[in-house]
A = this chain, B = another copy of it.
Amino acid sequence: MAGGTKPGRGGSGRTTIADVATLAGVSPSAVSKIVNGKGSFPEATRERVRRAAAQLNWTPSAAAVALRGARTRAIGMIAGRDPDLLNSDPYFTLLIAGIESELAPRDYGLLLHIVGEEPGAEERAYRRLADERRVDAVILTESRVGDGRFALLRTLGLPAVLVGTPWQPDPVPTVQAAGQEQGLTEAVDHLVALGHRRIAYVGGPEDRVHTGYRRQVFLDALRRRGLSPSHLLTSDFAGHTTGEVVTEVLGREDAPTAIVFAGDMMALAGVSAARRLGVDVPGGLSVVGHDDLPVGRMLHPRLTTVRQDLAQLGRAAALDLLGRLGEEGVDRETVVAPPRLVVRESTAPPP
């Protein structure tokens, strides 16, 4: 008789499934099945087991479950940005909040890795995640031109979902908003309706897929109105270089009367640069941002921007993955709302 395993041994050895089984007067496998809702047991037994588990405060050891089965109940996410860039832009935080809101209630964890932008770092991180079997799947963000991560993950056999615009059609399951182009198009229409004719665009880094995509949407919208862009510029997302770019363009003879930015932090930096030159916003220059970060609402003027529900994107990505992993009761049909223009105070008729 296995009388050696007494429950609650002074707090030294961890409580195991055997302790619960002993207390409930059943076998370990019965406990396992009942807890995981597998076999069919009389309600009385189930109740007894549940009570025993609760009493002993027992939860299956994640390590043992992972070793046995495969599921680690963890999702990986790797941010391949320099910390400094990361810090300036709440993009990730918003996304993560959305992801977590779906993972947490299902007792999934989010394993986060922040690696710099050195070439090999990101790939190594994914390899590790896969080799060490630390996560069941990963969430990819910031799709890049010529992105090699899809192929890598396929090789590694790690399920993945991409948040954003894929580099190539269908390289990996993707979660993105319906009607991507809507918000930016509305922004252009809004500016044109206000009377603007010289409209500039400041995009993000060229290696991001959405940089090219958004610029194209901008151009198309403008063309549809019979206009061509006043200037097409580039900056970093954090907005560190945006000031210089904007200062330069506002000094020109044919300075734009409105600027559309690919991100709120850039827009914010743009507003500051303009003000520094004595150009009032929106009096002397209209500004449109993108993403609708909370900070935009706290500024003066409040930022007119394209709202993208990053948290919802995060939730959708998490749900997609969860469904893909065979999690029960996951509603994967989440429709992500298209980006929409939010008109606030930073746009007005041209001077």
Contacts and interface: CB of A to CB of B under 8 A. Distances in A.
B88 A100 contact: no
A113 interface: yes
Contact of A294 (B60, B63, B238): B238
Contacts of A64: 63, 67
11 contacts: A60-B132, A62-B66, A62-B133, A63-B63, A88-B90, A104-B125, A110-B113, A243-B298, A265-B295, A268-B299, A295-B295
Contacts of A110: 111-113
Q: Shortest 6 CB-CB distances between A and B: which pairs? A: A63-B66, A83-B97, A59-B131, A272-B300, A88-B294, A62-B132
B14 A133 contact: yes
A40 interface: no
A87 interface: yes
A300 B300 CA distance: 11
Contacts of A268: 295, 298-299
Q: How many copies of the shown chain assemble into the complex?
A: 2
Nearest to A298: B269
Interface in A94-125: 94, 96-98, 100-101, 104, 107, 109-115, 125
Interface of A: 11, 14, 57-64, 66-67, 72, 74, 83-84, 86-88, 90, 92-94, 96-98, 100-101, 104, 107, 109-115, 125, 127-128, 131-134, 157, 238-240, 242-243, 265, 268-269, 271-273, 275-276, 293-295, 298-300, 311
Nearest to A15: B131
Given A265-B295, A271-B300, 11 more contacts: A11-B157, A63-B72, A87-B90, A87-B93, A87-B293, A100-B113, A100-B114, A104-B115, A110-B111, A238-B294, A273-B300
A63 B67 contact: yes
Contacts of A84: 294
A346 B120 CA distance: 42
Given A83-B311, A295-B295, A298-B265, A104 B93 contact: no
Contacts of A272: 298-300
Most chain B beta carbons < 10 A, residue from A94, A97, A113, A269: A97
Most chain B beta carbons < 10 A, residue from A60, A114, A127, A276: A114
A281 to B, nearest CB: 10
B86 A93 contact: yes
Contacts of A61: 67, 132-133
Contacts of A115: 104
Contact of A114 (B83, B104, B275): B104
A105 B73 CA distance: 24
A268 B239 CA distance: 17
Given A63-B67, A128-B107, A132-B62, A114 B87 contact: no
B131 A58 contact: yes
A130 to B, nearest CB: 9
Contact of A276 (B72, B74, B300): B300
A113 B103 CA distance: 9
A62 B65 CA distance: 12
Contacts of A265: 295, 298
A14 B158 CA distance: 13
Nearest to A131: B59
